[in-house]
Amino acid sequence: CASDLGEEEVLPLLAGRESAVGLAAVNGPASTVISGDAAAVDEIAAVLAERGRKTRRLRVSHAFHSPLMEPMLSEFREVVAQVVPGEATIPVISDLTGEPATSGQLGSPDYWVEHVRGTVRFQDGVRHLERDGVTAFLELGPDGALTALGQDCLTGTTGTATAVGDSEGTGTAALTGTPLLLPLLRKDRPEAPAAATALARLHVAGVPVDWSAVHSGGPSRPAVDLPTYAFQRGSYWLAAGPATADLPAAGLRTVDHPLLGAGTELADSDGFLFTGRFSVRSHPWLADHGVYEGVLFPATAFLELAVRAGDQVGCDRVEELTLEAPLVLPQGGAVALQLTVGSPDASGTRPLSVHARPADDGPDAPWTRHASGLLPPARNPGPADPF
């Protein structure tokens, strides 16, 4: 159970419950985790709720770092004792002590047994690195959970931390004396681009990079001279103009809408299909909805698409519009969109759905349904909008 308490605040709550609950982790000055018997943890969480403090139940397979791990420690020690470790070549800050670990400690079975049972002192480890003058912190893991925690642990003795990935993270930490924290990977991004982005930000921050290792096994990339002035992070792509394809020749009709380029009636039904292709370059206003490395298609735009579809079929309302998946536009690519309006049911209500896929991924790229809803019949029927 995670809470917004510091260690000094949470320890009194464990008094009398030491055989059932333990302090699992100290992740920051106002971030701790307790672990153990579910009933005992719930009791403590209830006390904190009465005090107006925040808690969050964590989904884990076992109650790690708690008394509940003790029955397996003896067998675990026997297994670890069979491992013959080599001499440590990279300094390691122990999460048990918050201090540098020696080769003797790392080779001791007792150390790893305590690692299962004892408290994780993440805050102490980060602060030790800060005192040692470390200014670049790279999280090696599947996401950036520790990056945010690490930012809260820093005391500011070497500057104000910038967690890269936030809107203010520019990756110039080491050049300005400000600590830089960033994850190698992000769960919502492809691994290779995420790792390359992290490497680039470390390089910009002044961290030495072994470029021969980066490019080993791949095509050689010749070095080129770069301007000596600072990169201004400006975009100078020419604005893309609207498509000018001959729609009637393709059996389609022009749709007067900024996001929809064409439309047609569906054969053997009373349905309609609208199509569109757009990007940040063709619609610069979308850039106002930037999220990390992409642009999030706004919810109001889905609603506008549904309203336009309703106008086409003579429906003046939208009901039960559900946003099923976010539509992220890449900074350098376009998105193909299809809006489908189905045939009316007995009450005159029509279903609608919005699908999209990357426009440059080829015809075999899968479509993702991002929104669905209903178009009830108009209360005061009038003529439908023409194409």
Each residue's pLDDT tens digit, 103-161:
899 999 999 999 999 999 999 999 999 999 999 999 999 999 899 899 999 987 654 44
Whole-number pLDDT of residue 365: 86
pLDDT category at 292 given cuts 50, 70, 90 is low
In this structure, which amino acid lies at residue 188? D
Q: What are the residue ranges spanned by the domains of the chain? A: 1-132, 133-208, 251-375
Round to whole Å and give the CA distance between 248 and 254: 8
Q: What fold, for 251-375? A: Thiol Ester Dehydrase; Chain A (3.10.129)
Give pLDDT tens digits for 328-380. Answer: 887 777 899 999 999 988 888 999 999 999 887 778 889 999 999 999 988 77
The tokens for 160 are: 């104000």
Q: Which long-range contacts does 189-195 make (Cβ < 8 Å, 24+ apart)?
A: 189/292, 189/293, 193/293
Residues 6+ apart with CB under 8 A from 98: 121, 123, 124, 125, 127, 128
Q: What percent of the chain has pLDDT over 90?
A: 53
Strand ranges for the chain from DSSP E: 2-3, 21-28, 31-36, 55-56, 136-139, 162-163, 180-183, 253-254, 262-265, 272-279, 290-291, 294-296, 319-323, 328-330, 334-341, 350-358, 368-375
Residue 266 pLDDT class (50, 70, 90 cuts): confident
Give the tokens for residue 311: 């106008």
Is 1-132's fold the same as 251-375's? no
Contact criterion met (CB below 8 Å) for 23 and 119: yes
Alpha-carbon dihedral of residues 158, 162, 163, 167, nearest 10 degrees? 180
Question: Please, are residues 151 and 196 in contact by the beta-carbon 8 Å criterion?
Answer: no
pLDDT at residue 263 tops 80: yes
Q: Which pLDDT value is given to residue 386?
A: 55
pLDDT at position 174 over 60 = no
Q: How far, CA to CA in Å, does 65 sit from each of 69, 72, 157, 221, 285? A: 7, 12, 31, 48, 50
The Cα–Cα gap between 28 and 122 comes to 7
Q: Which fold has domain 1-132?
A: Malonyl-Coenzyme A Acyl Carrier Protein; domain 2 (3.40.366)
Q: Which helix (H) or strand (E) holds 178?
A: none
Band (383; pLDDT cuts 50, 70, 90): low
- Looking at per-residue confidence, does 314 or 65 come out higher? 65
What the block records as the tokens of 293 is: 């490395």
CA distance 204 to 222: 19
pLDDT confidence band for 385 (50 / 70 / 90):
low
Count of C-beta atoms within a 10 Å radius of residue 194: 21
Mean of the pLDDT values across residues 175-180?
Answer: 68
What is the average pLDDT across 93-100?
Answer: 94
- Residue 157 is predicted with a pLDDT of 64
Whether the per-residue pLDDT at 289 is higher than 90: the answer is no
* Tens digits of residue pLDDT in 26-62: 999 999 999 999 999 999 999 999 999 999 999 899 9
**Band (187; pLDDT cuts 50, 70, 90):** confident
CA distance 177 to 145: 23
**Is the distance from CB of 113 to CB of 76 less than 8 angstroms?**
yes
Number of other residues whose CB lies within 10 A of the CB of residue 201:
21
pLDDT at position 233 is 75
Q: How confident is the model over 64-73, as a mean pLDDT?
A: 96
- Reported confidence tier of residue 252, pLDDT bands at 50, 70, 90: confident
pTM above 0.85, yes or no: no
Instruction: Return mean pLDDT, the chain.
Output: 85
Q: What is the mean pLDDT of residues 185-198?
A: 90
Mean pLDDT of the region 194-212 = 91
For the chain, report the end-to-end CA distance as a whole number of angstroms. Answer: 57
HSE-CB for 205 with a 13 A CA cutoff: 28
